[in-house]
A and B are shown apart, each in its own frame.
Chain A
Amino acid sequence: MNRLWSAIRFGLLDMRGDWRRFGLIIACLAVGTALIAGVSSVAASMEETLESNAALIMGGNIELSRADRAATAEEVEKIGQFGQIANVIDTNVRAESAGHDAFVDLISIGIAYPLLGEVVSPDLPPGASPFDFLSWRDGTFGALLDPLMLDQLGAKVGDIVQIGGTPFEVRGVLGGVPDAPVRGFRLGLPAVVTTEGFSVLSDRTSPLPGLGTYFRYKVVLSGGLDPDAGKAAVEAALKDPAWTVRTARDGLGPMVRYYDMFMRFLVIVGLASLLIGGVSVWTGMSAYISERAPVIAILRSMGARQARVFLHFLVQVATLAGIGVGTGLVVGGSVALVALPIVGRSVGVDLPPTLHALPLLVAGGVGLLTAFAFAYLPLLQAQGVSPVDLFRSKASASRQSPGARCCCRCNRCRCCSPLPPSSGSPS
């Protein structure tokens, strides 16, 4: 152990004065590691959140949907045997107000909606039922409108706007619905009305062809029924293949895949950065070791074995890699902590700032592996330097005559020697 510590100490001491030249190597390793650490941490947080809050994000343990019609009373009764039900109708209509119009992603909610989570609106009293809040009052149904739509329509809370050719009172600004992440990409700006309000729409024509109306039934399974078992049981009970039944995990699948692909892309960016860092390590270490040839020759002249020389420079590579990768992990982890709530807001999922050990370990491992893999050849190059150069270097003038030894052996003769000529007199 004494032997190792001594070698490490001298390896580190030998780096003094060369730190500026190592800046690029450290920076490249740090950037690559930071990218992988940051992206992997965000991906891990997102995956964990989606896994643990899948039911909340979808608004139930399972969801049944179809596009051609609503469930019959008999079907509702069958579904109701498995737990609580909340129904939602998704469609697209046009809204108009004072000569302005907007393309609406209309969410029509049933009385029990939402079973999990809550509709966000600053105008909705705490604990109030959104269905009750938007139900018939003073001659109209109510609606919660996205603030952008209010701008488009030039309307404000309390105004009457036409949705699907039917007047609705704007009762509040819509902040969000709890199952927004699984609704996927939607055309139009969201507005919430009740299913009763939906039933009185005079014009349900879609503003664009091909956009259908979907009748969805979200179920929170009772009796601790497993979602997959619940899905199978509901399918068996309904015996109608027109129903699409999804568990929360199924529902999140496309979303997880989408973000997974995005994260993979960013990881590829990180790996590319590390590759560049690796090439930088390679060229940087090659140049460094070429310049350090006199030191290597001195070590060899003192009787250092090739392994001892290798260790001397391995310590230096390890130090550079440690600093670069360590910096990358700190930066990547910090960026992930800052980015998680922002990413969460953008995708409609609550992503608390947390760090995960595994992505950081993987990023650190990849960073270190890159550094050592690309430093390996330069380290081998260090072993090949001979102390002969120390003798040859002083004989600059006399040994250079008529190429006497220039062609004998690469890196062992004066003309090939990496050592600079000294001012010594010829032998």
Chain B
Amino acid sequence: MNDTPGGGISGRAPIIALKGVNYTLDVGGRPLHILKNVSLAVAPAEVVAIVGPSGSGKTSLLMLLAGLERPTDGSVSVGGQDLRKLGEDQLADFRRQTLGIVFQSFHLIPSLTALDNVALAYEIAQPELGLKRTREAAAAALEAVGLGKRLDHRPAALSGGEQQRVGIARAMIAKPQLLLADEPTGNLDQQSGATVIELMFDLARKQNAAVVMITHDPSLAARADRVLTMTAGELVESARASA
């Protein structure tokens, strides 16, 4: 793809800038092209949905944005940082300072309560705050997602929707510039999914955070500022909903 999806936002410094990104794996001596010449720019506070069939490279793109994988070639800049130049600990710092991630399978720590799951994320992001202030902030974050009365419940005692709300509180508590959401409603029923998405968009808007979300749900994708389609490793812009 030669165009840069999001090229029209060039007036504002993009939070995400991918240029000519290729991501290829070597499988048994044969190259497997996961991403092909992907370019993307996302403005601060912009909500972008990525759709596409399974195996098309959506999750790989998300992992590149999170600094979890490195591109074969091309540049990946997120929050003004060239991720290719960062070492392991620098990438950890980048994730701590810039990113929030919401997973399809929630991935809460089962031994910790909802409060501690969120507090742990904040403790990692702001270790100098101290336990009391960390827990107060976590309680406030859970209050904001409507779980003020479920602070001491462990994940096993929460419904899927509630777990995902804890996941959102955890991802947003450190006020990241960018929220990556990997099929956030994939494990939820329609009603819970709608509630969770409403909450996630609302928090992102309040915190002025950009959102890149993978989804299979067309109605959910339609709520994004832009919808990009990934097909066989290539990214094309399929709709601009509200930009």
Write the residues of chain A forming the contact surface with B, with a CB cutoff of 8 angstroms.
Answer: 2-3, 5-7, 9-10, 13-18, 294-295, 297-308, 386-388, 390-395, 398-399, 401, 403-405, 407-408, 422-427
Contacts and interface: CB of A to CB of B under 8 A. Distances in A.
Nearest to B57: A427
Contacts of B84: none
A294 B110 CA distance: 10
B131 A303 contact: no
A234 to B, nearest CB: 73
Contact of B182 (A295, A300, A302, A427): A427
Nearest to B110: A17
Interface stretch (B12-20, B38-46, B93-101, B202-210): B93-101
A390 B55 CA distance: 16
A232 B121 CA distance: 77
A18 B186 CA distance: 30
Given A14-B112, A301-B101, A391 B68 contact: yes
B120 A302 contact: yes
26 contacts: A2-B127, A2-B130, A3-B128, A6-B131, A7-B123, A10-B116, A16-B111, A17-B110, A294-B107, A299-B120, A300-B92, A301-B95, A302-B125, A303-B99, A307-B89, A388-B69, A394-B105, A394-B183, A398-B54, A398-B55, A401-B55, A407-B28, A425-B104, A425-B186, A426-B54, A426-B55
Given A10-B116, A387-B66, A391-B63, A425 B216 contact: yes
Q: How large is the interface on B (under 10, 10 to 19, 20 to 34, 35 or more residues)?
A: 35 or more
A9 B178 CA distance: 29
Contacts of A7: 123, 127
Considering the complex of A and B, which 8 residue pairs feature the smallest CB-CB distances, nearest first?
A: A303-B96, A426-B54, A303-B95, A3-B127, A2-B130, A427-B59, A398-B54, A422-B105
B32 interface: yes
A14 B109 CA distance: 8
Contacts of B168: none
Contacts of A395: 54, 59
Contacts, number: 144
Contacts of B66: 301, 387
A299 B68 contact: no
B58 interface: yes
B143 to A, nearest CB: 20
A17 B62 contact: no
Interface of B: 25-28, 32, 54-55, 58-59, 62-63, 66, 68-69, 88-89, 92-97, 99, 101, 103-105, 107-112, 116, 119-121, 123-125, 127-131, 134, 170, 182-183, 186-187, 214, 216
Given A2-B131, A6-B127, A426-B55, A394 B120 contact: no
Interface of A is mostly: helix
B207 to A, nearest CB: 17
Given A7-B123, A404-B27, A424-B187, A391 B182 contact: yes
B225 to A, nearest CB: 21
A125 B25 CA distance: 97
Given A3-B128, A15-B111, A303 B93 contact: yes
Contacts of B94: 303
B25, B28, B68 — which one has the most chain A CB atoms within 10 A of its CB?
B68
A75 B110 CA distance: 87
B105 A386 contact: no
Given A394-B186, A424-B186, A408 B95 contact: no
B68 A386 contact: yes
Contacts of B120: 10, 299, 302
A3, A306, A307 — which one has the most chain B CB atoms within 10 A of its CB?
A3
